[in-house]
Each structure stands twice: as C-alpha cells, then as structure tokens.
Chains A and B, each alone.
Chain A
Amino acid sequence: MKLRRFLVFLMSLTGASAAIGADAGLAMAGVENPARARVNYMLNCQGCHGPTGAGMANGTVPNINGYLARYLHVEGGREYLVQVPGSANAGITPAALAEVLNWMLATMDATHLPSNFVPYAADEVGALRSRPLREVAATRAVLLARLADQR
C-alpha cells in the first residue's frame, strides 16, 4: 500500500493523468482525479506551502510533508484541516477542496494516514468551511498538545 501511494505521488508530480492512475488501479481514496487535485493544490496552496508541502525553513509556514495526516489521529484534527483559513477560504468548490485534502493526505503523509481513514466528502467539507476558525493559533496549539500526548 505504501508503495502504491508512493507511485501515485510520483505520478502526480510528473503530471500523469487520472486515466493512467485508474488504468494502473492506483486510486487514492476520495481522489477522483489526481491531476486535478494537484492543479488545485498548486493554484491555491503551493504559494505558501511549497511544491512538496515543506513550507518555510524558519517554520513560519510549517512543514506538513510527513506530518499532515497526524492531525487525523486527535480529536478536532479532522475539522481543523478544513477550517484553517487557508483551506476553508480557498476559492474552490467543497468537492474540489475535499479532493485536494484527500490528495494531500495521500501524497504528503501516507505513512500517518489512519488505517480506517474515511476520505473527506464534499458535504462534510462544505459544512465545516462555512465555520472558518477565528482563533487559529490557539486551536492549533491545543491540537499539537494532543499530538504530543499521544506519543
């Protein structure tokens, strides 16, 4: 499974089309069209998060590569990934946002993806993003503390 995810990531980096992915049977959960997801990532997220999710070396934009899916392991984390303003405010439809999030989780942090992961769906994302977080730093601090407790 890990290898498959890695292959999908490689393909998405090289701009391989969804058709090829489908042909090879390398579907990502909740990602109908990986090429579309990647384009939406590039247009709406990459400016700050960088092409691989590495962010900024000084931590102003945190490195989410190899970390992102850890949020799914703590209470409130699943909601946070949608409600954080960069995500909630992106100018794309709820379905497209759900697809980008599923794509990011699969390509940037498959290692930490829970085995029982249920992909984000459009209606869930639509409902969550209508209530964007105002106190982001405080919410994030709580989640990071929960993550630290888990270790």
Chain B
Amino acid sequence: MNSDRHSHTGGVVDRLTERFSRSVASRTSRRGLLGWLGGAVAGGALFPLLPVARATDPSQATGSIADGGDSTSCDYWRYCAIDGFLCSCCGGTVNSCPPGTEQSPVTWIGSCLNPEDGKKYIISYNDCCGKSGCGSCLCNRNEGDRPMYLPSKSNDLNWCLGTSSAIYNCSTAIITGLALPES
C-alpha cells in the first residue's frame, strides 16, 4: 500500500485493509489455497475438527460400512478425488445437497480407500447447483483424476450440467458401490 496517499486518514484505512486481507486470507489461505496444492500437504481443516463423525447423521447413513472420520475435513477419505466446496460445510452433507439446490445427474467418478475397513469404494462426486459458490471448505484432491478429455474421471469441470441452473454451489461424495480389489 502506498502510505503517502493514505497518510491523511491515519491508521483507519490501514487497519481496514489489514482486516480485509486477513479475512480473505482466512477464507482462502489455509485449506483454500492449500487446496490448490492438493491433499498431500493438507495439515488441518479450515474449520475446527469435529470429534463426532458426521456419518451419524441418518441422512448420510451408509448401511453397514464403517465410516467414521470428519466429513467436513478435506482429509476425509471419500474426498480423495474431489475439487470444490464440501457440501458438508454448506448446509448439505457428504451425500446430500444444501437446501434449495439441485443435484446434477451427471458427474465424475473416483474410487477411494476407506481406512477403517481397508476397502476401496466407488465415489460419485455429484455437484449441487442453483446457488452461487458456497465458499466454505474448498478442497482439491486428485487421486485418479485425469484430464478433462477423459471427462468421467475429471474433477476440473463444472458438472452443473443437466440441471436447470448451471451455477455451481458445492460437491458431494456419494458411495455408489464397492470397488473390485484389482481395480
């Protein structure tokens, strides 16, 4: 900042600027920007880690699958190929959309290892659409992600296609089945 130009306003502008910078930083600098770096460097979650697994929420029940972990954290196992805002932080859950949004029927598919049972599951990363970007819990991990010319394996696309609205809000991670040991 050019201090000469703002010296007449004393520290007010500086303080405002500093606060704004800090708010942007807190929104983007941790998980946000680290998100662009990928999950490998993920240390902590943007939000405080919740001790209770969100999987206890009946709307995301997964039958008999041992599915602990914090679905609001980018480190959560199902997010191994996600790119976007976690619906769990946006009024939805790991497998449901926030109120008033619409879920895209077309999507990209990944497969992730569940550390609790050591099995690989197939995950459908359906986007939720119809409201502007949620902005919370940006998460980008790319296991098995491939370029966009292999679309069913690419998370770089806005998959709000086939919905009435093309506007991207957040991403879910829905278990669609068990992967084969060899796949």
Contacts and interface: CB of A to CB of B under 8 A. Distances in A.
Please determine if A and B sit in direct contact within the complex, based on CB atoms under 8 angstroms apart.
yes
19 contacts: A15-B178, A39-B122, A40-B183, A42-B122, A42-B177, A43-B111, A43-B122, A43-B152, A46-B152, A46-B176, A47-B107, A47-B109, A48-B151, A50-B105, A50-B106, A51-B176, A56-B105, A57-B105, A57-B162
B122 A45 contact: no
Contacts of B178: 15, 39
Contacts of B161: 56, 60
A35 B152 contact: no
Interface residues of B, number: 20
A41 to B, nearest CB: 10
A61 interface: yes
A58 B179 CA distance: 30
A54 B152 contact: no
Contacts of A50: 105-106
B124 interface: yes
A36 interface: yes
Of all A-B residue pairs in the complex, the 7 with the closest CB atoms, nearest first, are: A47-B152, A56-B162, A42-B122, A47-B109, A39-B180, A48-B106, A15-B177
Contact of B176 (A42, A45, A54, A61): A42
Given A39-B122, A42-B177, 11 more contacts: A35-B180, A39-B179, A42-B122, A42-B124, A47-B107, A47-B151, A47-B152, A51-B124, A55-B105, A56-B162, A58-B162
Contact of A60 (B152, B162, B179, B183): B162
A70 interface: no
B154 to A, nearest CB: 9
Nearest to A36: B180
B152 A48 contact: yes
Contacts of A47: 106-109, 124, 151-153
A30 to B, nearest CB: 18
Given A43-B111, A47-B152, A60-B161, A54 B180 contact: no
B151 A38 contact: no
Contacts of B180: 35-36, 39
B41 to A, nearest CB: 27
